[in-house]
C-alpha cells in the first residue's frame, strides 16, 4: 500500500504521495499540490526541498557518508583515479580495462582547443579572475561545436561533448592562469597523465624542461576525486536548471562555473587561505578570530566551516586533512597556516556556538593548504574545484536529459504592490 501524507488546508484534506529512495530517504511528492489546492510551498534556499530523483551521488549529512554510484568516497580516494571516477559518475559503472583505455584515449585526442580560443583569452586583461575566464571559454565552445546546441542530437554527439569537456578543462584552466600572470600559454603534452599534463601546462615556461612531480600529480588527482560530485549543491542545481531548458552542455557547465565562484560555495577555498593568512599576519590569535566568527556584528565567518547538509563531519575534509599533512611532509613544506587551521578546528569544535550550530570543517577548509603546497596560486583554487566538479556536473546534466525532466520553473509568493492606476509624470 503506497504511503501518503495528509495536508489539511481550510478544513479540506489533501492526500500527497510519499516516495522513498534506495537509501530510505523519504519525500512528500507535491507535484499536484497547486492543481488540487491552489496552494504552493515556500522553502528559501531549498533547505527542505528535493529538486529531482538522482542515482548518481548519495550523502548522509548526519553520518558523514558520501558515495558516488554506491562506492564510498574513502575507497575511491584510496584506490581509484580521477578519470576512472569521472567514468563511474557519468556512465554509472566502473569501467573495464578496455572501456577505461578507450575513455582516456578519447580524452587525449581532444585536449587541444580551437586556436581561435586564444583570441577570446587575449581579450581578457591579466587582472581577470581565472573563474571568469574559465566560464567564458567553456561557453565559447558552443561557437566551435554548434552541433552541441542540440543536446538531444545523438548519444554519440553527447559522448563527444562529454569527452571534449573533460579533455579541454585542464587546458582552459591552465590558460586562464597563464593569462593572469602574463605568460605564454602551453599546449597539452599527451604523453603525460591527466594531472601531470595540467601541471605542465600550468607551470612550464618556454624552453624549460618541466618534469612533473608524481607526488604533486597524485595529491591533485585525489583532490579532484574528492570534489567530483556532491548531489544537488548550488552549482550542480544551476547546471541542472540551465540544462532543463535544453541548453547545451557547454553553456550549462559555464553557468555551473559561475555559481561555484561565489565565496559561500566553491569560492570558499580561496577565502580560507586569505582568512588564515590574515590570522597569521594578525599574530595567530585563534581565540580572537573564533570570537569574531561568533559575533554577528563582525561580518566575519570562519570560512571553510559549516555545511548545508553535513551536520556531523564532512568526510572529504577528514581525507583532505590527512592528505595535507602527508603532502606537506613529502614535499618538505612547512606551512604555518596549516598549524593555524588545525588550531582553529580544535578550538571551534570545543566551542558551544559551533557545536550547537553543528559547524564543522568542510571540503574547503584544508584543500587550499594542499593547493598552496602544490604551488597553485590562490586565484586558481576555485578553478581547481571546478576541474574536480566537472564530471559531477556532466553526470547530473546527462541524467536530467535522459530522464526527460521538465524545464525548471519554481513558483513564488508575491509580496509587492496590489493593483494601482498609472499616474502621468506631471501628476506624481
Ligand atoms: C561548499 O552544498 C554543497 O554540497 C556544497 C559543497 C559541494 O561540494 O558542492 O560541499 C561545497 O560549498 C562547502 C561550503 C563552503 N562555504 C564556506 O565554507 C563558507 C562558510 N560557511 C557558511 O557560510 C555556511 O556554513 C554555509 C553557506 C556553508 C551553509 O549555510 P546555511 O546552511 O545556509 O547555514 P546558515 O548560513 O543559515 O548558518 C546557520 C547558522 C547561522 O547562525 P544563526 O543565525 O543560527 O545564529 O550558523 C552560522 C550562521 O551565522 N554559521 C556560521 C558559519 N556558517 C554558518 N557562523 C560562523 N562561521 C561560519 N562559517
Report whether pLDDT(235) > 90: yes
**Nearest CA among 112, 117, 152, 154 for reference residue 136:** 117
* 61 within 8 A of 311, measured Cβ to Cβ: yes
pLDDT level of residue 1 (50, 70, 90 thresholds): confident
Q: Give the pLDDT of residue 312.
A: 87
Q: Which atom of ligand 1 is nearest to the CA of 362?
A: 13
Mean pLDDT of 161-186: 96
Q: Give the pLDDT of residue 375.
A: 87
Whether 233 lines ligand 1, by a CB cut-off of 6 Å, is yes
* 25 within 8 A of 65, measured Cβ to Cβ: no
- The 3-state DSSP class for residue 176 equals helix
| Catalytic center residues | 307, 364
Is the pTM above the cut of 0.85? Answer: yes
Maximal CA-CA distance, the chain:
79
Mean pLDDT of 184-195: 95
Q: pLDDT, tens digit, for every residue of 11-38?
A: 999 999 999 999 999 999 999 999 999 9
Instruction: Locate the domains of the chain by residue range.
Output: 4-64, 66-213+234-262+381-402, 268-373
Tell me the C-alpha distance between 287 and 276, whole Å: 13
* 381 within 8 A of 367, measured Cβ to Cβ: yes
Residue whose Cα lies nearest atom 44 of ligand 1: it is: 296
Ligand 1: centre distance to CA 139 (Å): 29
Of 38-42, 68-72, 292-296, 310-314, least confident by mean pLDDT is 310-314
Topology of domain 4-64, CATH: Rubrerythrin, domain 2 (2.20.28)
pLDDT level of residue 266 (50, 70, 90 thresholds): very high
Testing ligand 1's pocket by substitution, the residue of 43, 297, 303, 307 carrying the most ligand atoms inside 8 A of its CB is 307
Testing ligand 1's pocket by substitution, the residue of 289, 306, 309, 349 carrying the most ligand atoms inside 8 A of its CB is 306
Mean pLDDT of 415-419: 96
**Grid coordinates in use for 423?**
499616474
Whether 264 lines ligand 1, by a CB cut-off of 6 Å, is yes
Report whether pLDDT(210) > 90: no
What is the overall mean pLDDT for the chain?
A: 95
- The 3-state DSSP class for residue 428 equals coil
Q: pLDDT, tens digit, for every residue of 292-301?
A: 999 999 999 9
Whether 30 lines ligand 1, by a CB cut-off of 6 Å, is no
Tell me which DSSP letter residue 296 carries: G
Report whether pLDDT(234) > 80: yes
Q: Give the pLDDT of residue 325.
A: 87
Ligand 1: centre distance to CA 308 (Å): 6
Report whether pLDDT(207) > 80: no
CATH architecture of 268-373: Orthogonal Bundle (1.10)
Q: pLDDT, tens digit, for every residue of 93-119?
A: 999 999 999 999 999 999 999 999 999
pLDDT level of residue 338 (50, 70, 90 thresholds): confident
Report whether pLDDT(352) > 90: yes
Q: Give the pLDDT of residue 262.
A: 96
Mean pLDDT of 225-235: 98
H helices present in 151-193, as ranges: 155-181
pLDDT level of residue 209 (50, 70, 90 thresholds): confident
Report whether pLDDT(411) > 90: yes
Of 63-77, 323-337, 373-387, least confident by mean pLDDT is 323-337
Q: Give the pLDDT of residue 315.
A: 94
Mean pLDDT of 304-308: 93
pLDDT level of residue 208 (50, 70, 90 thresholds): confident
Q: What are phi and psi of 304, to 5 degrees?
A: 85, 0
Who contacts 357 (Cβ-Cβ below 8 Å, separation ≥6)? 306
Report whether pLDDT(184) > 80: yes
Q: Please state which CATH number belongs to domain 66-213+234-262+381-402.
A: 1.10.580.10
Who contacts 305 (Cβ-Cβ below 8 Å, separation ≥6)? 293, 348, 354, 359, 360, 361, 362, 365
Amino acid at each position: 500500500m503506497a504511503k501518503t501524507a495528509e495536508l489539511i488546508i481550510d478544513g479540506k484534506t489533501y492526500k500527497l504521495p510519499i516516495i522513498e529512495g534506495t537509501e530510505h530517504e523519504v519525500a512528500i511528492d507535491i507535484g499536484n499540490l497547486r492543481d488540487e489546492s491552489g496552494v504552493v510551498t515556500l522553502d528559501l534556499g531549498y533547505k527542505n526541498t528535493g529538486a529531482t530523483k538522482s542515482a548518481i551521488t548519495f550523502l548522509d549529512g548526519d553520518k558523514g557518508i558520501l558515495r558516488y554510484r554506491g562506492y564510498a568516497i574513502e575507497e575511491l580516494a584510496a584506490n581509484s583515479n580521477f578519470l576512472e571516477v569521472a567514468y563511474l559518475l557519468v556512465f554509472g559503472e566502473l569501467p573495464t580495462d578496455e572501456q577505461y583505455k578507450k575513455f582516456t584515449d578519447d580524452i587525449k585526442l581532444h585536449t587541444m582547443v580551437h586556436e581561435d580560443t586564444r583570441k577570446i583569452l587575449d581579450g581578457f586583461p591579466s587582472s581577470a579572475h581565472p573563474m571568469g575566464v574559465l566560464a567564458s571559454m567553456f561557453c565559447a565552445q558552443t561557437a566551435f561545436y554548434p552541433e552541441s546546441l542540440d543536446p538531444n542530437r545523438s548519444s554519440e554527439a553527447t559522448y563527444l561533448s562529454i569527452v571534449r569537456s573533460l579533455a579541454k578543462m585542464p587546458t582552459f584552466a591552465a590558460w586562464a592562469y597563464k593569462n593572469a600572470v602574463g605568460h605564454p600559454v602551453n599546449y597539452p603534452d599527451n604523453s603525460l597523465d591527466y594531472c601531470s599534463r595540467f601541471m605542465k601546462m600550468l607551470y612550464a615556461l618556454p624552453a624549460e624542461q618541466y618534469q612533473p612531480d608524481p607526488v604533486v600529480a597524485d595529491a591533485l588527482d585525489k583532490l579532484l576525486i574528492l570534489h567530483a560530485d556532491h548531489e544537488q549543491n548550488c552549482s550542480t542545481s544551476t547546471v541542472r536548471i540551465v540544462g532543463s531548458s535544453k541548453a547545451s552542455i557547454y553553456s550549462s557547465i559555464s553557468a555551473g562555473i559561475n555559481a561555484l565562484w561565489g565565496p559561500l560555495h566553491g569560492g570558499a577555498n580561496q577565502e580560507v587561505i586569505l582568512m588564515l593568512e590574515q590570522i597569521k599576519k594578525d599574530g595567530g590569535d585563534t581565540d580572537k578570530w573564533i570570537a569574531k566568527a561568533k559575533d554577528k556584528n563582525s561580518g566575519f565567518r570562519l570560512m571553510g566551516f559549516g555545511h548545508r547538509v553535513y551536520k556531523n563531519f564532512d568526510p572529504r575534509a577528514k581525507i583532505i586533512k590527512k592528505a595535507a599533512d602527508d603532502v606537506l611532509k613529502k614535499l618538505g613544506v612547512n606551512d604555518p597556516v596549516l598549524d593555524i587551521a588545525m588550531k582553529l578546528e580544535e578550538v571551534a569544535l570545543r566551542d558551544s556556538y559551533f557545536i550547537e550550530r553543528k559547524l564543522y570543517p568542510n571540503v574547503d577548509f584544508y584543500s587550499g593548504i594542499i593547493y598552496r603546497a602544490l604551488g597553485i596560486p590562490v586565484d586558481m583554487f576555485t578553478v581547481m574545484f571546478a576541474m574536480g566538479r566537472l564530471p559531477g556536473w556532466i553526470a547530473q546534466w546527462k541524467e536530467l536529459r535522459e530522464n526527460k525532466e521538465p524545464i525548471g520553473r519554481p513558483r513564488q509568493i508575491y509580496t509587492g504592490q496590489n493593483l494601482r492606476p498609472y499616474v502621468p509624470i506631471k501628476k506624481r
